[in-house]
Amino acid sequence: MAKTFKFELVSPEKLVISGNATQVVVPGSEGAFAVLPGHAPVMSTLKPGVLDITMDGEAETRIFVRGGFAEGGPESLTVLAEQAIPMAELDAAALAEEVRNAEDDVKDARDDETRARASERLDHLRQLQGSL
């Protein structure tokens, strides 16, 4: 049996995943990072992107996350995401709607900081759209 750590992915609506993982790749705001059993303590905000989750004895699961943060250590990782959508459920039409909403957010921004955050989100969504 492979070494594992406790992993939980939580969204406002529900507990998305809970179990023993062997590896999770997190889209951190400073860059993606992999968490394995025994990982040093870490805390990071999330950028829009895909969590690559390998649960003990299961195939890799890919989940799009937006907003939130990750906190972990040697024996656990918790990801609290504003939005969590399994890639298998993400369809082109829903993503196109997210892109349109993000484009509106860029147009409606009233200051440079808000515009920059909205533009960054739009860029990430377009990257995700290109990966479908």
pLDDT tens for the chain, 132 residues long, are 579 999 999 999 899 999 999 999 999 999 999 999 999 999 999 988 889 999 988 889 999 888 899 999 999 999 999 989 888 887 888 888 989 999 999 999 999 999 998 998 888 788 777 766
CB hemisphere CA count around 131 (13 angstroms): 14
The number of angstroms, rounded, from the C-alpha of 43 to the middle of its chain's C-alpha atoms is 14
Name the residue ranges covered by the structural domains of the chain. Answer: 5-88, 91-131
Identify the pLDDT of residue 41. 95
Identify the pLDDT of residue 88. 83
Q: 10: left (phi > 0), else alpha (psi -120 to 50), else beta?
A: beta
Indicate the pTM of the whole model.
Answer: 0.76
Q: Give the whole-angstrom CA distance, residue 56 versus residue 125.
A: 30
Ordered alpha helix ranges (H), 9-59: none
Outline where DSSP puts E strands in the chain: 5-10, 15-28, 31-35, 42-45, 49-55, 61-72, 76-86
Task: Check if the beta carbon of residue 49 is closer than 8 Å to that of residue 70.
Answer: no
Q: Give the whole-angstrom CA distance, residue 111 versus residue 115.
A: 6
Phi, psi of 86, deg, nearest 5: -55, 135
Helix axes 92-108, 112-131, angle to 10 degrees: 160
Architecture label for domain 5-88: Sandwich (2.60)
Q: Give the whole-angstrom CA distance, residue 6 versus residue 31.
A: 22
Identify the pLDDT of residue 85. 85
Identify the pLDDT of residue 40. 94
